[in-house]
Each structure stands twice: as C-alpha cells, then as structure tokens.
Structure 1
C-alpha cells in the first residue's frame, strides 16, 4: 500500500477490484488546497450494486457456518495489516478530509482496536440456558445473523465509523456491502485494501462507491439486503428508516447531535474551557458528538468567556499535515458554505459575534476551505444556531441562572446524542445524569469522547434508539432464536 495521487478507486466486489459499468467519476479534492486532487471516485450504477449484493448473498451461507473464532482470525489479520499501514491511511485521510494528522492517526489506531475487540467477540457467549416447564426438555437461546448488511457511512470518520459497523456485522456472521461517503472514498479504499489483503472469502466484504441518490437509495430499496446500518444526517436517516421499514428490513440509524456542555458555578474553569474547545473545535467541529451549545451559570460566565476567547484566538489553523496545526479546514466547499450560512443566520437572529465568523484572507489559507473558529454569545434557545446541527467550529454561549434552567435549556432541542457537565457538586452530577436526555453523558469531560467497548447511540431524533459498539452491537446484527429440545 502506498500514498498515491489522482488514482481512480475501484469497487471491491466478490474478492476483486472492478471498474464501474460507467466511466463517470468524482474528483476527491484536498480541502486544505482545492488545487490538489487526492483521487477519483467512481459514480457507480445500480448494476454495480446488484453485483455486490449478489456476491454477498452467495457468500453468506458459508460465512455464517464458520465458527466465531475462525471469523475472528480474519479480523485479527485486518487489524494487523491496518496497523502496519497506519501512516499511509492517516495521511490519506488528512489529505482527503482535512483533519490533522495526529487526529487521523488516532482514528486509524482506533480502527485497529475495534477490529481486535470484535475479533475477540467470536469467542464470547451468544445465548443462555432457560429453564423449561418440561423437566425432560432443554431450552436455550442462540443468535442468527441477519444475512446481508448494507453499511452507509459519512465522511467525518472515514476509518472508525465503517469499521465499527463492518467488524461486528462480520463477526456475528453477516456479509457486508459498504457504501462510503464519496468525499472520503479514497480513504475508504485504503481500508478496503486491508480487508482484501487479509484474504476474506470472496463476497463476504464488498464496497461500492457512488452518490447517495443512486447507491445509498439502492441499498435502501434492495430486496435481498436484510439490514441497513447508517450514520449521517437526520434528514437522510429518516429516509433510510422509512425505506427499510416499507420492505421489512432491519435498520439502525445514528444521526445528528446538538450537544451541550453545562458549566456550573463550582466548575474548574480551566478544565471546562479546555474541554469545551477540544470538544467543540477539534476536527473543525465535524463530529456528531461535538460540543455546540455552551451553557454557563451567570456567576462565572464572564470569567469563563474571557478565558475561552483568549484560548480560541490562539488556535493554530492550517493544513492538517503541518505539525503546528491544531485545526484543519472544513471537509469540503459545500460544508464550508453551510457553516458560513449558519454564522450569518446567527448574526441575523441577534446573537453577538465574539470571535471569528469569517473565512481566512491570508494567502496561505486562501486555497483551502478554512473558516475561523467562531464564538457567539447572547444566544437564545429558539435561535437557529441553538437548534440545528452546524457541523463546524461554532460555539454558542448561553447564560443561565440555575442548574434547573441549565438542564431545561440543554434538553430544549430535538437531538439527544451526547452532553457533558463541569461541576464538583454531587447533587448537580446526579441531576444531570438522571434528567439529561442524551444517550451519552459525561461528567467533567468533553462531550466528544466515545469508547469502543461501550454502547453508543442517541435519544430523541439522534438515533433509531438502537446502540452501536461494545457488546450491544450484537442486538442489531443478529436475531435471537429460542431453541426447545425434547428427547
């Protein structure tokens, strides 16, 4: 494996690399330098998808017959190959998506850890004995794989998110068809090269690139795809769920977030400021768990704001491949324009701009999709920037009097993915844990921390109320089968 420029990424179908039925491609642009083409991504057809699904269906019977330990050995091989190529994969990610190289390496290392974790799942229990009312019978549960799983993933974590879906799907006996985001399909191809090198049986793991309107919709509608796992926007996620439900396929949706951090009067201010900046602005705010709303009690509001602005203004923005860069560009021109439009909306609706709010004008950054880290205050809960997911480096400061008011404001959105609080008061911690409508709550830590061995998912419109990662993943990728044996 090597870092190459401007190659065309092929589809991986039935154990081989295939060109699409049509020659149309999308150029994957380096967001740090719009003049650099990282590679070309095929705009595949429904016919390409059909071939991948057919291959996955042919392979599923033999794959599910393998022992969990045998399937785990394949995942261990992928983990070792990915680890060997961590620098190449990470550099490709940085060039294609824009996050800093240390973040890209960390994400790739996380992919390695996820593969090893699920490889171990092959030797863990998948059922339990249940007493029968018949003394001469044996009753127990086991689990059956869904069959063929369609995996639709976003551009913001092009290694970790596909792997945390693919690895459990495979270890529990399913075959997979991956549709990565077009914006980061070059990176996804690097990951798929690791699976190819590991020697999986033909058809067990497949990848087809292409627009969501064609390949994504094709996965939703395909009659022989048994389950769909999706991460992306809530608008698209609802279409996935509706389409899957219409034909009786199982679906799993992880969607948006509008994640708050509450800073109480008794908080460690330096810790809270650092975590707010890290949680909200790292990866240019392009995380579903990124801190977006900063809810601060009034007694310490001014001190918190002063320290926050001082540190935000010191952040080094630039090309993620440069060692001194703390924050890279937005992932695409489209995403940059979305962020800028939300900033303008914040100004129009009466929020006060404290810092940032514009593109960079200096020549070093003019060719990239860079936006300044941005902080607003005087933000009201009904404002657009307090309600909608921006997916960019924008923080909205909201002043409250009491902890009760803080929790009301924190819950006053349609999303419920993650949330954090900074306090030393046990009562405040317990109230936050019990009353915060979010699938992930963190105490004295940033909102954007997710551990691979723990269940992950949201409440309200952030998810389909299922959970990913950890041992909870088995609930989606399998069905319980109850067995009754009478001698």
Structure 2
C-alpha cells in the first residue's frame, strides 16, 4: 500500500489546504508509486512561515549547546534509520544502494558536525584603543530561513542547509524537490523525535509555485537555494529585491585536465568515477575531459573501456542506476543528438540500454564523445547525465584556457605528475573547488563549498564554518565601564 506523507508545520504533521496530493515514482519502474505527498499552495507556505516566525525568539534565545544537543539526537535518530532511508532514497531518486547509503551517512555526519559547532558559537573579543572599554562581538541568528533544495541529493543538501541554520539559532521552512521529497521529511521527523520545539523547522511539499511563495514571503529573512542556474538567478533577484540575505548554488560544467605527464590509467579512473558516478546527476560531475594530445588516444581507449564495464540496472544490484525522471532522461538523449549534429564522435553509449531488467526505467548508457570543440553545446551546457565530452589540446596553456572557457565555475580537477602545473591549475582555474589528482565530485563537509561565475551568486559559501556565517549576523559591543 502506498504511504501518504504529510507536511510538517508548527510541530504537527498536517495535510495541505488544497486537499490534493502528488506521487513520487520509482525511476527503475515508473509505474510503481513510492509515496504520495501533499500538493501544497501559498496558504500552506504562509502557515509554515507563521510557525517559524512564532518560534524564532525562543529558539534564538536557547543556549547554543542545547540546540546542539537536539541536532545530535536527530543525527542519532537518522543513524538508527539509515538502512530504511537508504532504500527510500534509492527508490525515489535512483541512486545505487552504495551511493544512497553514502549520502544518508553524509546527512548524519553533517548533523553531528554542526551539533558540535554549537559549542564554538558566540563572538570574538578585541582590544579597544583606549582603556576602560570592553570591545567584543556577539553572533546572533538572522531570522526565518527559506530553504529550497534539489532532487539529486535529496537528504544531504537539506541537511547541509538545515543543520547550520538551526545550530545558529534560526528557524526554517524547507521546500524539497518534488521528485524525491521523502528523505527530507525524514530529517524533520528525526528532529521532532529529538525534541525540537514546535515551529522551529517546517517542511511543505509541492512544486515550483510553493518555492516561489516561500522566497517571496515578507516574514522570510534569508533564502538558500540549490538548483538550476536559470531558476537560481530568479530566486536571487526576487529575494534580494526584498532585502533578504540570499545564497544560490547552481549548475556546473566541470572539467578534468589530463596533462601530458598524467598516468593514463589513473586519469581514466578519476574521470570515469567523476563522470558516471551517481548517473552523472551531480552538479560537480565531470562532464569535460581536457586531454593533452600526446596521451589522448590512450586515454580515450581507457575511459571508454571503463564506461563499457559499468553494469547498469536497478540500484540495489548494479553499478549505475537510472536517471530520476523521464524529462531528465530525454534531456540527456537530446544532448546526444545535438553532439552528433555538431560533429562530435560517439565513442560509446548514447542510448537506452536494452534488456528485460530495464523495463520502462529511465536508463541511459554511460556515454563518451570525442572530437569535441570547446564551443560545442556538449562542452558548454550542463547535461546532468552520464555524458563525457573529451576535448583534445596541444599543451597545458591551452588546457587551462579550455577549462576556463565556460559560463560555469563549480568544480575542476587536474591529473598531472608536474607539481608546477598543479600549482598553476589551482591558482588560475576559475572554479570554487579545485582538485589535484582527484575526481571533481566528492566534498568534505568541514570546508567551504560554492562556485564561481554562473555556478553561484558568489555571496556566501555553504558547509564548514562558512555554512554558519550565512546564518549569523554580528553585533559589535562597546562596553565602557
């Protein structure tokens, strides 16, 4: 029997005012409904924001270590449900069991991390120029946070927004993406079990109009968004026009440079893992391999072999799962057609795999293109599927220029045995994350994360101490005694 999930508003599980629901389905078998969720509207958003605003003062005045204790208990609740949440994430989003389990564990770790960071909150003390004055700062929460999150990391991204917001003393309303909202609801369920006061965290499910109403609400003080560049820039303009503090992290067209000195087999492993992991549905996925001409042919042979060795199928048994929806699958297949029309050579993949196990699932083969020019759409636009464009270059100078030849600047990596090249790369690449001899995907939770150019509003970073900075504001105190 399909479960029907409710919104979480003011400490209670509630139905939407619309009385309507929508379904999430299994991308491996689209006819199978995973769960029904509330089809919320503006009135539901208003109720959630009212609840958050009403809880704001009491939560802000709760000692930070007490807030941390609740986050710690919520992390423990999530850990107890890890296997259940892993299965839910796999069924709604399509990740393999291993990938989903890793993401659930990351959410757990994030809550534990920010639970401990609450002990460090407070401010700083400085020396005044003259005597007789205590000079110090006091960090305080900003207010009500609107959090709008995507489907591709449906528990990790809500966690890395919600945990620092609550740790810093803000209240929040979360709107998860409609394709896979189940694990986001599980987070607030864990917080509820941990004793979070009513109204501090709220979740409303629905579609884009719900997110828009949340961003526009007068009682929202700050907005954090992760999603597409097109929507993100609209969110930022709307939020800042109303004087709200805002951060938006958006798309990527991430490159790995394979230098002349690179160990080719290692480079192929790094690129393939970055390009085809999580079905390429990561904003940090490697979608461009920029390869020196002297190792180009050997690299292509190696990376094609890795693509063809990937066993595609349902996430509980195979190496790579489906795309999340029919529209995402069709978008990837459309880019395959565009690449060939532009003159790129399809080395492997490019279609839907055939066989009984695939049924009507949203599967696509890991795909590699060569003979790609940097101005091709396949090298400039975000595909968000397991598609790799290989661009051949003649030297490191050209490789670096090609890596920077993008409107995006989220993550980039270089594979090289030359330390001088590595130093130049991390200094000159136009990306918020730069890696040496490592894949473009994969992030540590205790350091800042964010992009450059169209990948980000370049206002505030997420995760680590930077994640707390967005959710706090300092008051400077001059105490003359």
Q: TM-score, normalised by structure 1?
A: 0.97
Equivalence map 1:392-411=2 (5 Å): 392-411=385-404
Shift, 1:363, TM fit: 2.5
Distance 2:285 2:6 in 1: 33
Q: Does 1:476 align with 2:475?
A: no
Q: TM-score, normalised by structure 2?
A: 0.98
Equivalence map 1:429-468=2 (5 Å): 429-465=422-458, 466-468=460-462
SS in 2 for 1:89: helix
Q: Does 1:329 align with 2:325?
A: no
Contact map agreement 2:64 2:121 (CA 8 A) in 1: no
Contact map agreement 1:96 1:187 (CA 8 A) in 2: no
Aligned partner of 1:381 in structure 2 is: 374
Contact map agreement 1:56 1:204 (CA 8 A) in 2: yes
SS in 2 for 1:485: strand
Aligned partner of 2:312 in structure 1 is: 317
Distance 1:83 1:186 in 2: 16
Cα deviation code 1:208-254 (max 9, x no counterpart)? 00111x21101111000000000000000001100001110000101
Shift, 1:270, TM fit: 1.6
Contact map agreement 1:221 1:244 (CA 8 A) in 2: yes
Match of 1:371 among 364, 368, 372: 364
Match of 1:137 among 118, 133, 137: 133
Contact map agreement 1:52 1:177 (CA 8 A) in 2: yes
Aligned partner of 1:108 in structure 2 is: 104
Shift, 1:311, TM fit: 1.6
Aligned partner of 2:118 in structure 1 is: 122
Aligned partner of 1:232 in structure 2 is: 227
Q: Which 10-residue stretch deviates more, 24-33 or 398-407?
A: 24-33
Match of 2:257 among 245, 259, 262: 262
Shift, 1:125, TM fit: 4.2
- Count of residue pairs the alignment pairs up: 480
Aligned partner of 1:85 in structure 2 is: 81
Shift, 1:76, TM fit: 0.4
Aligned partner of 1:291 in structure 2 is: 286
Aligned partner of 2:345 in structure 1 is: 352
Distance 1:125 1:16 in 2: 30
Aligned partner of 1:223 in structure 2 is: 218
Cα deviation code 1:168-191 (max 9, x no counterpart)? 000000001000000011222222
Aligned partner of 1:342 in structure 2 is: 335
Unpaired segments ≥5 residues, structure 2: none
Distance 1:402 1:288 in 2: 27
Distance 1:480 1:381 in 2: 45
Aligned partner of 2:33 in structure 1 is: 37
Equivalence map 1:102-251=2 (5 Å): 102-212=98-208, 214-251=209-246
SS in 2 for 1:260: strand
Aligned partner of 1:361 in structure 2 is: 354
Unpaired segments ≥5 residues, structure 1: none
Cα deviation code 1:436-472 (max 9, x no counterpart)? 0111001000000210011100111111112100011
Shift, 1:24, TM fit: 2.0
